[in-house]
Chain A
Amino acid sequence: MTDEEPVPAGGDTATTSGSAQSVSSVDTAPAARGGPSPIAAIRAISHAERAQFDYRHTSTRRKKALVYVLFAAMLPVFALLLWGAYGIGQRVGAGEADGLLELARWYLPAAVAMYVFVGATEATKRLVGFEARELLLTTVSERTLVLGLLVADFRQSMWGFIGPTALLVAVFAIGAGSPTVVVAATIAALSLAVASMLAGYLLGLGARLALRRAGLSSTLRSLAGGLGGVGVVVLSAAGGVLVGRTGANVSFGDQASFAAITPDGPPPIPLAYYADLFFVGTPLVDTPPLLALASGVLVVATVPVSLWLLVALTPRLWYAESPAPADDTDATVSQTPPTDGREWPWLEYPVGYVADRTVRRSVRTPQRLAHLLYYAAAVGMLVVMGLADPALPFVSVVGGALVCLGIWLAGGTVGLNPLGDEGAMLEQLVLAELSPASFVRARVLAGTVIALPFVLVGTALLAVYTLSPTDALLVGGFLTLLTPASAAMAVGVGSLLPKTEPGRVLERIDARPPEKLAMLAHGAVTVVLAAGGSTLLVVDATPSVRLGGLAVVALATVVAADSGYRFAVSALADYGRPRRPDPIYALELAVGLALLGLVLSVTVTEGVVLLAPVSGSGAFLVAFVAGFVGWAVAGVAFVLAAGYGRDALDIRLPTARDGRYLVGGVVSSVAVYGAVVAAVSVLDAPVVEHAIVEEVLAGGPAFVLALFVLVLLVNAPVEEFLFRNVIQNRLARTIPTGWAIAVTAVVFALVHLPVYASADPVAVAVTLTPLAVLAAIWGWVYSRTENLVVPTLCHGVYNVVSLGLLYALL
């Protein structure tokens, strides 16, 4: 949409929001009557709603950064999914997929239920709680408004749900190799996803209307609505997984027979034959059966019928719910007599008091806790998946799920939106006598108290069959420590991605559950730490693996939790002013960024190796580059999230002065290398060879030449960007430059631990020390020139020289 387009009542939206760039037309009413076409009006509403939504959810920049990181971290999963889909497609194309059609029929209802659940959960967000409420007072017709809101929502859903589904199905169809199936399956997938989501909307709105008619209190209403949805999705998932028993048995790409895991008998409902449409044009389906065609017609017909019903139904919720809920007598009158004061001991302490009131506010407005349904659904799925594995005892499955739920709830209940949750009160907290840290501690405390029973009961259940008493104590102790850590991470993530930026919102702030992205990031990190730590505590592995792994888990937990806590405290303490430098936070950030880079280099490498159809030396080179892409993502994400802008990149043509530092840096780098080689041979000290050596031995001259290019043009620039331009720079803002160089050098050496992993700690130390010295030289050169090109060239020349010597000596 351009600004010139006639926007019905868009001007109102702009004035209330202040986001004047979103919509411009001010003289609206006559334009709306005279007549933009309905399509233009729908588009305009969709645009205004999205612009307003983005405006209200201000942390767009940080969100983007987090999405990049999550994508890089999940790349192996995506790769597996895509290859799995492609592989299945190939087998279908080759006529080797007996039983797949039946399996697909059994699973289709479960997939539909997923979409319906998502639709029902999200329905009220956009259709009832939409941003551009002023449009209700204009001449825009209700139909146009509903359709505009739907368009806005579907444009967003394309990224989250519908798009990925269509992509996976398309990849599958490409694997199957017939043009017919590509077209048929993609259309079938899109139609089904859209129709199911629309049906979900309808279900969600209908349930809401029905519950309102039933005259229940708002608390019961929220509870019934929410649990109903969770029940539907868990039951259907249970149906799909249990009947097919595939949750535990399928692995992509292997040649397991589909027939073996397909249940006998006809699929549960006739709609299941819709699955046949995904296979039209493959050996599995020649001409789709009548039931499939009928299902197709039904699904396609659902779209207009749902739209029509939504247009009719949605406005009822607008007008009935807009005023204050005066009919809710139980909610409007305080449930507590005024004298109840301080009867509980924790209320004597300010932190305990604030924690208590924070929880109390959440409980009284249950719509604030609607997001907890996602945890319930996820845990329900975990239980179902666990039950599908006959080897796992029921009690242990429930125990594991409870632990998971507890770790999530520790941060998820009141931690994930600490600023948006306070709303207009935030400034009063800033001006209060109580220290900013107290408010953050209160949320951490509340989360921990809520979550700990789940964690402990869950661990106890795991101890019944799965864990020995000693292991249970170890794991229980670890998880008990992880619970407050999870809460602390949540307040950090929540402060990074506030749902609304308080102080900029002009109207009353009501229920604002946290960003789903914040839930996802917090949920993923905590569950990985919980599962990783617990497994390492009980698993049968060599002490070095166990200790090394536990050290990494402990470091990551402490860094993430403490930096999250500090970030949240600083968000309050430094509200409205620049953040005060915090050396410990800066150190944690440096370590955290290095750890993140390490993790992303691993995941991107794995993902790309899985995705790329190359083998041998080529695969090594691809993986080599992919690893550095992972490192780079960590740095780029930080620069983006911190809002440094383009000029944060210190790249200039070297001056004559830079040249002198360049020569000095190169000479001293090579000298360090020579000295180390000499010292090692004279003293006969143990060293560890870089993992690259074996590849150099195996590869031919062309491979080595490519390697030369890569260490110069990929390795050096990326490492210098992350470690010098990002990490050292960030440290130097807070601590003296000398210390910044030293800390960065140590961190730089330590992240090379994986490529020099060895059982001999002396050899590792001997190998890593020169790296730290080199990093210090490059860091010093960078701090003097403030030009990334200089240390990059030093680093690159060093890489080439050392690789060249290595090659010459082999």
Chain B
Amino acid sequence: MIVADGLTKRYGDVTAVDRLDLRVDGGTIYGFLGPNGAGKTTTIGMLTTLVEPTAGGATVAGHATTDRDAVKPHIGYLPDEPPVYDAFSAREQLEYVATIRGLEEGWAAERAERLLERVGLGDSADRRIDTYSQGMRQKVGLVQAILHDPAVLFLDEPTNGLDPRAARDVVDLIAQLTDDGTTVFLSTHILPVVEELADTVGVLHQGSLVAEGSPAELTRRVTDADESTLEQVFLTVTDDDSRLATKTPGERLTPGEGE
């Protein structure tokens, strides 16, 4: 569903993303890991057509990202700051988004209602969003991103600033979405979330993918220890002094079989 081919973004002299190749199959969750400033948000920007690549290209849901009009009906995007109007109530916000997304009114209202209940916002849906906590805002943003039932969902730090219970709600919802066939591109640096959800994990470091594979494969192959965790993997491959990291960029550490 997502294919990136040599995706590169340079801002002046700074290379934010460097020749990134990616492949995400339909109905799977791709966990996109990386330290702060690794280029995760820039990558999502390019995949969602919002940022123009300096070089390379990508297709999302079968359409080149250069063709924004073709891509946009198929994707949902939740940036790290939930895009909501503070002056609206959650219900008004969702009605607005349904309208500008061109959704059928009755269908959208019914779906919004169901999703609000699902994330536990049913009782607060008529309060103005500027009275919401960070977690509630994040949930409204998530519901809004999946309101039109997109084929591909991009989530940038969806559990940022959430308490454990709210984070659990969000994680469960994401898991349920993939059961319905949605492809999820999940960018985060919160490792347990990835460990639980992701089918494939890619670790981005200084604009390059330095490791990729299923969580189990990564923990098995990257570190020699038997009982290592994803955290150790992360620390190893994003360590500038590590012998593994210095082999890259260009050559990727891919522990998968025959890929």
Contacts and interface: CB of A to CB of B under 8 A. Distances in A.
Interface of A: 324-326, 331-334, 336-338, 341-342, 350, 353-354, 357, 360-361, 364-365, 423-434, 439, 503, 506-508, 510, 575-578
B102 A360 contact: no
A331 B82 CA distance: 21
Interface stretch (B17-25, B71-79, B165-173, B232-240): B71-79
Contacts of B105: 342
Contacts of A575: 50
Contact of B100 (A326, A338, A360, A432): A432
B149 interface: no
Contact of B128 (A333, A428, A506): A333
B84 A425 contact: yes
16 contacts: A331-B128, A333-B128, A334-B91, A334-B128, A338-B89, A338-B91, A338-B126, A350-B99, A361-B87, A361-B88, A424-B83, A424-B84, A427-B83, A428-B83, A428-B144, A431-B49
A508 B86 CA distance: 9
Interface in B58-93: 68, 72-73, 75, 77, 79, 81-89, 91-92
B242 interface: no
B96 A357 contact: yes
Given A334-B128, A507-B81, 13 more contacts: A324-B130, A333-B127, A334-B89, A357-B96, A361-B87, A424-B79, A427-B79, A428-B77, A428-B100, A429-B100, A431-B50, A439-B100, A510-B130
A432 B89 contact: no
Nearest to A332: B131
Contacts of B52: 576-578
B159 interface: no
Given A431-B75, A575-B50, A364 B101 contact: no
Given A324-B131, A433-B72, A427 B89 contact: no
B100 A433 contact: yes
Contact of B126 (A334, A360, A510): A334
A434 B131 CA distance: 29
Most buried by A among B77, B91, B92, B102: B92
B50 A430 contact: yes
Contacts of B73: 433
A371 to B, nearest CB: 17
The 10 closest A-B pairs by CB, nearest first: A433-B102, A432-B100, A364-B87, A424-B83, A334-B89, A577-B52, A361-B87, A332-B131, A434-B100, A334-B126
Contact of A338 (B82, B86, B125): B125
A449 to B, nearest CB: 19
Contacts of A336: 92
B81 A424 contact: yes
B48 A431 contact: yes
A782 B99 CA distance: 51
B175 interface: no
A666 B126 CA distance: 75
Contacts of B87: 360-361, 364-365
Interface in B96-128: 96-97, 99-102, 105, 125-128
A332 B105 CA distance: 26
Contacts of B68: 430-431
A429 B85 CA distance: 12
Contacts of A337: 126
A575 B85 CA distance: 20
Contacts of B50: 427, 430-431, 503, 575-576
A204 to B, nearest CB: 23
Contacts of B85: 361, 423, 425
Contacts of B126: 333-334, 337-338
A365 B96 contact: no
B27 interface: no
A507 B86 CA distance: 13
A465 to B, nearest CB: 43
Most buried by A among B75, B100, B105: B100
Contacts of B97: 428, 432
B35 interface: no
B102 A434 contact: yes
A706 B162 CA distance: 76
Contacts of B101: 432-434
A337 B84 CA distance: 19
Contacts of A326: 131
Contacts of B89: 334, 338
A180 to B, nearest CB: 56
Most buried by B among A350, A427, A506: A427
Interface in B118-156: 125-128, 130-131, 144
Contacts of B255: none
B1 interface: no
A354 B88 contact: no
Nearest to B125: A338
B6 interface: no
Contacts of A576: 45, 49-52
Given A364-B87, A507-B81, A353 B127 contact: no
A361 B93 CA distance: 11
Given A333-B128, A424-B84, A425-B84, A431 B99 contact: no
A431 B79 contact: no
A433 B74 CA distance: 10
A432 B73 CA distance: 8
Contact of B81 (A354, A364, A506): A506
B72 A332 contact: no
A365 B129 CA distance: 12
Contacts of A357: 88, 92, 96
Contacts of A430: 50, 68, 72
Interface string B181-210: 000000000000000000000000000000
A332 B83 contact: no
Most buried by B among A326, A336, A357, A364: A357
A432 B72 contact: yes
A321 to B, nearest CB: 13
Nearest to A331: B128
Nearest to B91: A338
Contacts of A427: 48, 50, 77, 79, 83
Contacts of A424: 79, 81-84
Contacts of A331: 128
Nearest to B90: A334
B51 to A, nearest CB: 5
A642 B161 CA distance: 40
A575 B45 CA distance: 11
Contact of B99 (A354, A428, A578): A354
A338 B105 CA distance: 14
A326 B125 CA distance: 17
Contacts of B95: 341
Nearest to A353: B99
Nearest to A429: B100
A527 to B, nearest CB: 31
Most buried by A among B87, B91, B97: B87
A157 to B, nearest CB: 30
Contacts of B130: 324-325, 332, 510
Contact of A425 (B83, B91, B102, B127): B83
A332 to B, nearest CB: 4
A710 to B, nearest CB: 42
A771 to B, nearest CB: 42
Contacts of B127: 332-334
B76 to A, nearest CB: 9
Interface in B36-66: 45, 48-52
A268 B83 CA distance: 54
Contacts of B144: 428
Contact of B86 (A365, A428, A431, A578): A365
Nearest to B53: A577
A48 to B, nearest CB: 22
A627 B122 CA distance: 67
Contacts of A333: 126-128
